[in-house]
């Protein structure tokens, strides 16, 4: 089935719209980032995010249509991130999507944000199953197994902080600007030695993660050094922290890939833009002989193209939303194939 899906994503601090053909081809992909507005607060402020979304939403959708050189009548459906995310932010995208779909008599599909992150890979390389996805972002750290399109099985997840959250918190300890991830990644790359921090493996055989202990270890290290009147070397701390995160993420993903005998491993989410993590996963799976893919940077961070890719498979499977669609901040990733 040929589809042209207008996708909208406003779950956090990016106002985004895209038009995707058949779940694989990007016709247009527009992202308006608010990162500059949130920097001074050291994190995303939900109310300010919502205010920006209202300002940008129609401009971004129009640009997606203009760049695609398409009119609403040429579209098959409208897709929108239904959750999880900041509820006030989600509501802008959802209500714009509903109004647009209603105005043009188009069906609407509510999409899961993490399904979107996983499907970002389908825009680069067709997904092959069984597939293992490592989803790492500011709000998520999950290992997901997929046996076919629309099937999701949560193999492991964080029990406390998400990987990206730990990055932001450690960055604050090191007085690095927000968002912390890229700064820590860069510092870690420049460092010639690393402070030794623990690896949190949890109980044997577990695919779950925990990063709050590691974060505390970094805070304690700085505290102890301060008390002794010694200066910390930020780069050494950054490398020590990143080494621990990357080692645990890589090892658990590798073990799961072996156990489930997958044909493909993919990384998704904002933290998969991290160079240290990418390199480690690339090298590990190259040695293992399992194809590993990670989307280009602009498809790792929040975008609507990924939502349109996932929505294609939902639409083909008969999934439909309606005019009463609400934001679902705590939405769970559920299999949609029957």
Q: Which residues are annotated as a binding site for substrate?
A: 135-139, 168, 181, 185, 274
The 46-75 contact track toward another protein, x by CB under 8 A, reads: -xx-xx--xx-xxx-xx---------x---
Q: 300: helix, coil or strand?
A: helix
* Cβ distance to another protein smaller for residue 105 or 229: 105
Task: Specify burial of residue 232 (Cβ count, 10 A radius: 0-12, 13-18, 19+).
Answer: middle
Of residues 216-235, those binding another protein (CB under 8 A): none
The 77-106 contact track toward another protein, x by CB under 8 A, reads: -----------x--xx-xxx-xxx-xxx--
- The residues facing 33 across adjacent strands are 14
* Cβ distance to another protein smaller for residue 24 or 58: 58
- Structure-token pair, residue 141: 């750290």
Nearest-angstrom CA–CA distance, 177 and 48: 19
Least distance CB 16 / another protein (angstroms): 15
* Cβ distance to another protein smaller for residue 41 or 297: 41
Number of residues located near another protein, criterion CB under 8 A: 32
Of residues 292-331, those binding another protein (CB under 8 A): 323-327
Nearest to 201 by CA among 153, 251, 143: 251
Nearest-angstrom CA–CA distance, 31 and 15: 6
Q: Is 128 in the site for another protein (CB under 8 A)?
A: no
Which residues fall in the annotated binding site for Fe cation?
A: 113, 117, 302
For every residue of 34-93, DSSP letters joined together read -HHHHHTTTS--HHHHHHHHHHHHHHHHHHHHHHHT--GGG-SEEEEEEESS-HHHHHHH
Name the pairing type of β-strands 131-136 and 264-268.
parallel
Report the interface residues with another protein, using CB under 8 A: 40-41, 45, 47-48, 50-51, 54-55, 57-59, 61-62, 72, 88, 91-92, 94-96, 98-100, 102-104, 323-327
């Amino acid at each position: 089935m040929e589809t042209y899906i207008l996708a909208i994503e406003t779950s956090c601090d990016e106002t985004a719209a895209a038009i995707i053909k058949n779940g694989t081809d990007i016709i247009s992909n527009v992202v308006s980032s608010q990162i500059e507005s949130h920097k001074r607060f050291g994190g995303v402020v939900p109310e300010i995010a919502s205010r920006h979304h209202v300002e940008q939403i129609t401009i971004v959708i129009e640009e997606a249509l203009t760049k695609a050189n398409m009119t609403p009548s040429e579209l098959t459906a409208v897709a929108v991130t239904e959750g999880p995310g900041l509820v006030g932010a989600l509501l802008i995208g959802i209500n714009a999507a509903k109004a647009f779909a209603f105005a043009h008599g188009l069906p609407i599909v509510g999409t899961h944000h993490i399904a979107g992150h996983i499907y970002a890979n389908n825009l680069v390389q067709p997904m092959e199953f069984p597939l293992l996805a490592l989803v790492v972002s500011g709000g998520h750290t999950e290992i997901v197994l997929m046996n076919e399109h629309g099937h999701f099985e949560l193999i492991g997840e964080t029990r406390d902080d998400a990987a990206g959250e730990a990055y932001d918190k450690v960055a604050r300890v090191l007085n690095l600007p927000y968002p912390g991830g890229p700064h820590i990644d860069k510092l870690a790359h420049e460092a010639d030695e690393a402070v030794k921090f623990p690896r949190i493996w949890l109980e044997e055989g577990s695919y779950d993660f925990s990063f709050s202990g590691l974060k505390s270890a970094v805070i304690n290290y700085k505290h102890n050094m301060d008390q002794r009147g010694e200066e910390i070397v930020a780069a050494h701390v950054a490398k020590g922290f990143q080494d621990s995160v990357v080692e645990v993420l890589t090892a658990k993903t590798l073990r799961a890939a072996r156990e489930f005998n997958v044909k493909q491993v993919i990384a998704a989410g904002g933290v998969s833009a991290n160079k240290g993590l990418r390199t480690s996963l690339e090298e590990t799976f190259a040695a293992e002989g399992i194809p590993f893919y990670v989307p280009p940077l602009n498809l790792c961070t929040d975008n609507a193209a990924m939502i349109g890719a996932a929505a294609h498979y939902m639409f083909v499977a008969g999934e439909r939303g309606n005019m009463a669609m609400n934001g679902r901040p705590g939405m769970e990733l559920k299999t949609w194939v029957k």
